[in-house]
Amino acid sequence: MPEIPPLRDPQSLKRLLAPRSIAVIGVSGEPTGFGARTVQNMAGFDGEVWCVNPKYAGQALHGRPCFASVADLPGAPDSAVIALPRTGVMEAVKALAAKGGGGAVIYASGYGETDLPERAEEEALLRETARALNFPLLGANCLGFVDHAQRVGATFMPDYVKMTAPAGGVGVVSQSGALGYALMQAAERGFAMCHMTTAGNATDLDVCDLAAFQLTLPHCRSIALAVEGLRDARRLFLLGEMARGLGKPIVVLKLGRGEVGAKAAMSHTGSLAGSTAAWSAGFRRAGMLEVEDFDALLETAGFLAKAPPPKARGVG
């Protein structure tokens, strides 16, 4: 049996996921476009935000400076959001890596989740290219991430700036972008969290890499993890070992249960859902607390962020 692929070094993801400067590639003048929404969601961020679109070069776009190309940016962006169609993604990744960027979020879909062999090959080439360039990717086919502590809304979902709840101690990691953002909206009811990431297809970074990064955040005290599938589920054991070492619990919800759910997961993010019993056994071995619905995911993770996990069995 091959060795378990190691977790990505959390320090190597700090620029991407806790940035001090952000470039949004493919911003249009249309305020409802994915790039424009992303820029609008940065209204509370006090770092640099740069737009890239040759059509608007030299102008202010949604209140931020716009440049003709990645090469023209005044510095190397810590994080970049690629709001381009799939056909423009590879060129943007190479340009950002050449500029010295810290990583990129990819919104575009149409890769392996389509079940077309040529699209799966295209996604594999994107992964190989990014890893050869040492340039981490979030996505493809994802809704981005949110750093509630720094008010970074690197997502195209609308109205992030209206989420007024203070940052809390729960880190949220979801394969599904829609679910991740729905969980974030619990902030409107006073549920405080610090960071939310969505893996999408997990072309490069998967939910284990993302949760490992959140575990290293000082203000993160528990993880709420929603997973559809993994290329190598044994990585959960590495994540669980890391969580135990840091004394931070992981509460997990398995998505794609049953035959219908498994098919939905495959078409959604290209994930193989696998056996429910096998996943539950894996979560137990990894030392994670499995729950069965979204309410329990947030409530349990929220409780454990306030109270340390019990030291013995039989605690009620």
Kindly report, residue by residue over 47-91, the tens digit of the pLDDT: 999 999 999 999 999 999 999 999 999 999 999 999 999 999 999
Per DSSP, what are the bridge partners of residue 170?
193, 222
State the average pLDDT over residues 282-303: 95
Tokens of 313: 């069995």
**pLDDT tops 50 at residue 268:** no
39-53, 171-185, 201-215: the lowest-pLDDT one:
171-185
Phi/psi of residue 297, nearest 5 degrees: -60, -50
pLDDT for position 145 = 96
pLDDT digits 0-9 by tens, 114-157: 999 999 999 999 999 999 999 999 999 999 999 988 999 999 99
pLDDT for position 274 = 63
Per DSSP, what are the bridge partners of residue 64?
61
CA torsion through residues 150, 6, 270, 224, sign? negative
Inter-helix orientation angle 207-215/235-246, to 10°: 10
Tokens of 316: 């009620």
Give the CA dihedral 121, 125, 131, 134, nearest 10 degrees: -150
Banded pLDDT at 183 (limits 50, 70, 90): confident
What percent of the chain is predicted at pLDDT more than 70?
93
Inter-helix orientation angle 117-132/89-99, to 10°: 0
pLDDT for position 280 = 95
pLDDT for position 17 = 98
Tell me the residue type at 145. F
Tokens of 298: 């947030």
**pLDDT tops 70 at residue 260:** no
**pLDDT tops 50 at residue 168:** yes
pLDDT for position 291 = 97
**Cβ–Cβ < 8 Å for 284, 291:** no
Of 293, 268, 119, nearest to 200 (Cα)?
268
Residue owning tokens 């890499």: 209
> What residues contact residue 9 under an 8 Å CB cut-off, 6+ apart?
none
pLDDT for position 90 = 98
Banded pLDDT at 210 (limits 50, 70, 90): very high
pLDDT for position 142 = 96
pLDDT digits 0-9 by tens, 18-44: 999 999 999 999 999 999 999 999 999
> What residues contact residue 285 under an 8 Å CB cut-off, 6+ apart?
237, 240
Of 149, 275, 255, 267, nearest to 207 (Cα)?
255
pLDDT for position 316 = 59
Mean pLDDT of the chain: 91
Determine the longest span between alpha carbons in the chain, in angstroms.
Answer: 64
**pLDDT tops 70 at residue 263:** no
State the average pLDDT over residues 253-267: 62
